[in-house]
Structure 1
Amino acid sequence: MPLKLKLGANEQLVVNGAVMVNGGYRTTLMVRNFAHILREKDVLQEDQADTPTKRLYFHVQAMLLKPPPSPELVAAYQEQLAALRRAFVRPDNLVALDEVDRVVTAGDYYKALVQLQTLIGVEASLLNLDPPPWRRARLGQG
């Protein structure tokens, strides 16, 4: 099933590690085969990874941006994942973390990021934080 991307004017995205910029008009792209894709609205800058779940998201994002992940990155990911498994107690959150690990192991990092975005919202609620503004970050800032 192809992936349909609707891009705003001048919107940036990363495809298999290459930063691409849409022109001055809205457009739609169809991706017909597997590729590592990250839209600028999904980019988390390192200084914004200020909670445990955001740190895990940042590790997975790094895996997506420059595959294959280095052994150091994999170790950091596994350590952060283990810490979150100890912190989250609700079964549905633990199931979500298991799914994150399953898709990361399969190399489908974007699906892991989608799962983590939901957990970041849960974490913000638990920590009494404002909803994360980082989805509006621009590539190259920070």
Structure 2
Amino acid sequence: MTNTLKISLKAGEKIYVNGAVIKVDRKVSLEFLNDVQFLLQNHVLQPEDAKTPLRQLYFVVQIMLMNPDGGDRAQKLFRQTLSNLLSVFRNERVLAGLKRIDTLVCEGEVYEALKAIRALYPLEDEILEGPRRQAETVFAKAVGE
């Protein structure tokens, strides 16, 4: 048996455990005594918030955790999305992170893969911010600022 994990939830919060959705009606602590795949409500990404490539990958992996019965379809979508990202990103740290995420998913460590994707968000934000800054500079010069 691995280390136990204790999680505290507030009234009305949800937790997704091995595909089950659990909502608590009062403040409660859960103690997991064995390995479990779970996702806290505040880590659930809504479809409308999956606006960047890594957030789209996160959404796909999240589906794998929340709906283990749809594994084949989600796995296929994960493979396609990951392949696209590996061919588009040039940043070595992002590419190394994506390869690690692939390994984690292959090993069934979906929760750890989600954590690894979230850890890449700041890098993605930096990468995406570069073109925005360039466009703002070009626009400012065009209007004479």
- Give the TM interval when normalised to the shorter protein: 0.7 to 0.9
Instruction: Indicate the SS of the match to 1:107.
Output: coil
Separation (CA, whole Å) in 2 of partners of 1:15 and 1:88: 32
Instruction: Indicate the SS of the match to 1:77.
Output: helix
Aligned to 2:75: 74
Which has the greater radius of gyration? 2
Separation (CA, whole Å) in 1 of partners of 2:69 and 2:20: 15
Of 10, 13, 30, the match for 2:12: 10
User: How far off is 1:120 after superposition?
Assistant: 2.2
- Scaled by the length of structure 1, what TM-score is found? 0.80
Residue-pair matches, total: 128
Aligned to 1:63: 64
CA contact (8 A) 1:36 1:65 kept: no
User: How far off is 1:11 after superposition?
Assistant: 1.6
Separation (CA, whole Å) in 2 of partners of 1:125 and 1:22: 37
Counterpart check, 1:127 vs 2:128: yes
User: How far off is 1:68 after superposition?
Assistant: 4.6
| Letter aligned with residue 87 of structure 1 | V
User: How far off is 1:57 after superposition?
Assistant: 0.6
Q: 1:115 to 1:60 in 2, by over 3 A?
A: same
User: What are the residue-to-residue correspondences of 1:89-100 with 2, within 5 Å?
Assistant: 89-100=90-101
Instruction: Report the aligned-residue RMSD.
Output: 1.8
Which structure has greater helix proportion?
Answer: 2
User: How far off is 1:2 after superposition?
Assistant: 1.5
